[in-house]
A and B are shown apart, each in its own frame.
With several copies, the nearest count.
Chain A
């Protein structure tokens, strides 16, 4: 039994259920309380329901938001902190990178840090260079941090629940272009386990690994390619750390070809790690180069026309696959 909802609604439901389930869960962030309900409306209705003590508006003080979330987690709570744009992590990454991700290690395993940092990234809304970036690769470079990046309503719902319940610090990256996307979500309460990739479409000719808003583009490309008789497998890792390497490499071993897609700038994006992993551990399975289709190596331009050139899309993905198979 499923129910149709948007990614935004699915995230809202997960937060609502976890707030109801566990009194140690609380939310903090800028403008998340009602009646505004968050810049992205993900937290809509939650402070009205659970109270403003547990759904807290903060000052514009990202370092304090992140740091206080870490402190509350060290003191036994399960904070979910919202940072409005992933771009702003450039000014408050310390609490995530140097504190949350390392406390367990630095203390010799004395403590766990059950905090979730929710944020959103990606271009596509003409928000220009400081409000459309995708920094997931930065955080996959930080040992001790779980990095989640869902693409569908049911994954968004089930992974956010798992993230909140997990004892480790989790960076939960939403995609601004996914919020309005609709899809089925189980009616019953369920959690999607962290660390499992999902094969969104089966195919034998090429493995497309896509994340976030690019999963839908990859699926659209696969549909287009199917018309030409090319059967693309589309895999969404869903959690970038820990990565379901086994499932991904198994797919590549079947298809012998890999294309990786993300909207982040190509250079040193997450696709670099994915490609390097394939080139290192599945080299002998490969029949051709590991191809990356990614955001341009330029800042994100404001103009919607230029921005569309910056972002990968189904057509560019399909073209890359055709070139690879040619």
Chain B
């Protein structure tokens, strides 16, 4: 079933939003305007957008340290994200989370996560909640290829399968985990193969194509909503930049490899398809690009002007109903 034109355009808009957001973060970091750890998701936009397109705020996602993409794809507010990166009181996490912990519980975004693999059992648990309540929601769990070797992956996928939970495991397979190439750490070449050990469908997709990602994920999501259990979708993509912004030279991989994969840009690919098929002309796409640029600029402006957190806020948001300032060590 081909996607309607407005869906294709919306996917373009969302991928562009991620790309521009991340490029802006990169610049801001290089100019010293934002600090902390920052893992750019550039190159991986099609995975997030393909998987999240069609989800509603009732559906859950979990994401990773490299999570801006998934979070934006699920509809997060760019201003509150940028405020957070600027460490402002108005940020999603009131300046206490930063890039690795952005969440929006009103949108079902159960958070980026700094612990590799930790989102897997969390998404599984969210799916369990759905099942216990008899709802038709779904949980989409994003993780990197490096996380596949964590115990969390094994325990989470087995549990989700045994309990037939409505969760879709989406691997951002960008070929690298920090400085380590996948072949050095994966016993089998195809991440989708791992699904067999858990009795669930496993599919690999070339994530240059956002519609291919969407098709695979949408089928798995539909299956999950029907109560037929979890799936694993291995999205083959690539990390365009260093592991984090501090890892600029990337001595562990070649300029050629980088250039070759950057040539396979999911946004360019989608753009060309839109133009080729007549869904959009260059002008329309430029309008979208400009609109998005406007959103990002507005977000940056807002963030710059936003108030910093108060010193007191360090003691807030720890417990419900318990003030930790009272009682000293208690």
Residues of A within 8 A of B (CB): 26, 30-31, 33, 35-36, 39, 53-54, 56-64, 66-77, 79, 87-88, 91, 94-95, 98-99, 103-112, 125-131, 143-144, 146, 166-168, 195, 241-246, 266-267, 273, 277, 281, 296-299, 301-306, 309-310
Separation in Å of the B110 CB from the closest CB of chain A? 5
Judge whether B32 is part of the interface by a CB distance below 8 angstroms: no
Judge whether B12 is part of the interface by a CB distance below 8 angstroms: no
Separation of A26 and B128 alpha carbons in the complex (Å): 11
Residues of B within 8 A of A (CB): 35-37, 60, 62, 87, 91-98, 100-101, 103-106, 110-111, 113-118, 120-130, 132-133, 139, 146-147, 149-152, 154-156, 158-159, 162-163, 177-180, 184-186, 251-252, 308-309, 311, 313-322, 324, 327-330
Contacts of A59 in B (CB 8 A): 146, 149, 155, 158-159, 162, 177, 180, 185-186
Tell whether, in the assembled complex, residue B36 and residue A67 are in contact, meaning their CB atoms are under 8 Å apart.
no
| With known contacts A68-B121, A105-B96, A298-B314, A267–B322 Cβ distance under 8 A | no
Separation of A35 and B324 alpha carbons in the complex (Å): 43
Which residue on A lies nearest to B147, using beta carbons? A60
Separation of A131 and B313 alpha carbons in the complex (Å): 20
Tell whether, in the assembled complex, residue A109 and residue B316 are in contact, meaning their CB atoms are under 8 Å apart.
yes
Tell whether, in the assembled complex, residue A143 and residue B125 are in contact, meaning their CB atoms are under 8 Å apart.
no
Which residue on A lies nearest to B159, using beta carbons? A64
Tell whether, in the assembled complex, residue B309 and residue A67 are in contact, meaning their CB atoms are under 8 Å apart.
no
Tell whether, in the assembled complex, residue A75 and residue B129 are in contact, meaning their CB atoms are under 8 Å apart.
yes
Tell whether, in the assembled complex, residue A77 and residue B118 are in contact, meaning their CB atoms are under 8 Å apart.
no
Contacts of B319 in A (CB 8 A): 104, 144, 146, 168, 242
18 contacts between A and B (CB under 8 A): A36-B178, A59-B155, A60-B149, A68-B121, A69-B125, A71-B126, A75-B126, A95-B118, A99-B115, A111-B103, A129-B97, A242-B319, A242-B327, A298-B314, A298-B315, A298-B318, A302-B96, A303-B98
Separation in Å of the B65 CB from the closest CB of chain A? 9
| With known contacts A61-B155, A88-B115, A310-B314, A36–B179 Cβ distance under 8 A | yes
Contacts of A281 in B (CB 8 A): 328
Beyond the given A98-B115, A304-B35, A305-B95, please list 19 additional residue pairs across the A-B interface where CB-CB is below 8 A.
Answer: A53-B132, A57-B179, A58-B159, A62-B150, A69-B125, A95-B118, A104-B318, A104-B320, A106-B96, A107-B105, A109-B316, A112-B320, A125-B36, A128-B36, A281-B328, A296-B314, A297-B324, A303-B96, A306-B314
- Which single member of A53, A107, A129, A306 contacts B313 (CB below 8 Å)? A306
Separation in Å of the B178 CB from the closest CB of chain A? 5
| With known contacts A31-B179, A106-B97, A63–B121 Cβ distance under 8 A | yes
Separation in Å of the B154 CB from the closest CB of chain A? 8
Separation in Å of the A271 CB from the closest CB of chain B? 11
Separation of A62 and B330 alpha carbons in the complex (Å): 29
Which residue on A lies nearest to B181, using beta carbons? A57
Separation of A91 and B152 alpha carbons in the complex (Å): 10
Separation in Å of the B99 CB from the closest CB of chain A? 8
| With known contacts A59-B185, A68-B125, A245-B329, A296–B93 Cβ distance under 8 A | no
Tell whether, in the assembled complex, residue B159 and residue A61 are in contact, meaning their CB atoms are under 8 Å apart.
yes
Separation in Å of the A283 CB from the closest CB of chain B? 14
Tell whether, in the assembled complex, residue A61 and residue B309 are in contact, meaning their CB atoms are under 8 Å apart.
no
Contacts of B329 in A (CB 8 A): 243, 245, 266-267, 273, 277, 297
Separation of A30 and B322 alpha carbons in the complex (Å): 32
Separation of A72 and B126 alpha carbons in the complex (Å): 4
Separation in Å of the B34 CB from the closest CB of chain A? 10
Tell whether, in the assembled complex, residue A68 and residue B124 are in contact, meaning their CB atoms are under 8 Å apart.
yes
Tell whether, in the assembled complex, residue B36 and residue A126 are in contact, meaning their CB atoms are under 8 Å apart.
yes
Tell whether, in the assembled complex, residue B101 and residue A107 are in contact, meaning their CB atoms are under 8 Å apart.
yes
Q: Count A-B contacts at CB 8 Å.
A: 292
Separation in Å of the A290 CB from the closest CB of chain B? 13
Tell whether, in the assembled complex, residue A71 and residue B328 are in contact, meaning their CB atoms are under 8 Å apart.
no
Which residue on B lies nearest to A273, using beta carbons? B329
Separation of A103 and B159 alpha carbons in the complex (Å): 23
Separation in Å of the A191 CB from the closest CB of chain B? 14
Tell whether, in the assembled complex, residue A128 and residue B315 are in contact, meaning their CB atoms are under 8 Å apart.
no
Separation of A144 and B97 alpha carbons in the complex (Å): 14
Tell whether, in the assembled complex, residue A126 and residue B35 are in contact, meaning their CB atoms are under 8 Å apart.
yes
Separation of A126 and B251 alpha carbons in the complex (Å): 25
Which residue on A lies nearest to B154, using beta carbons? A61
Contacts of A304 in B (CB 8 A): 35-36, 87
Separation of A35 and B130 alpha carbons in the complex (Å): 27
| With known contacts A67-B121, A75-B60, A128-B100, A61–B105 Cβ distance under 8 A | no
Separation of A149 and B87 alpha carbons in the complex (Å): 31
Tell whether, in the assembled complex, residue A91 and residue B315 are in contact, meaning their CB atoms are under 8 Å apart.
no
Contacts of A58 in B (CB 8 A): 159, 185
Tell whether, in the assembled complex, residue A107 and residue B103 are in contact, meaning their CB atoms are under 8 Å apart.
yes
Separation in Å of the B61 CB from the closest CB of chain A? 12
| With known contacts A98-B118, A305-B309, A61–B101 Cβ distance under 8 A | no
Separation of A58 and B128 alpha carbons in the complex (Å): 12
Separation of A35 and B180 alpha carbons in the complex (Å): 10
Separation of A291 and B97 alpha carbons in the complex (Å): 30
Tell whether, in the assembled complex, residue A302 and residue B101 are in contact, meaning their CB atoms are under 8 Å apart.
yes
Separation in Å of the A108 CB from the closest CB of chain B? 3
Separation of A117 and B20 alpha carbons in the complex (Å): 41
Contacts of B177 in A (CB 8 A): 30-31, 59-60
Contacts of B116 in A (CB 8 A): 60
- Which single member of B98, B111, B313, B330 contacts A241 (CB below 8 Å)? B330
- Which single member of A72, A103, A112 contacts B129 (CB below 8 Å)? A72
Tell whether, in the assembled complex, residue A64 and residue B105 are in contact, meaning their CB atoms are under 8 Å apart.
no
Tell whether, in the assembled complex, residue B87 and residue A67 are in contact, meaning their CB atoms are under 8 Å apart.
no
Separation of A296 and B120 alpha carbons in the complex (Å): 30
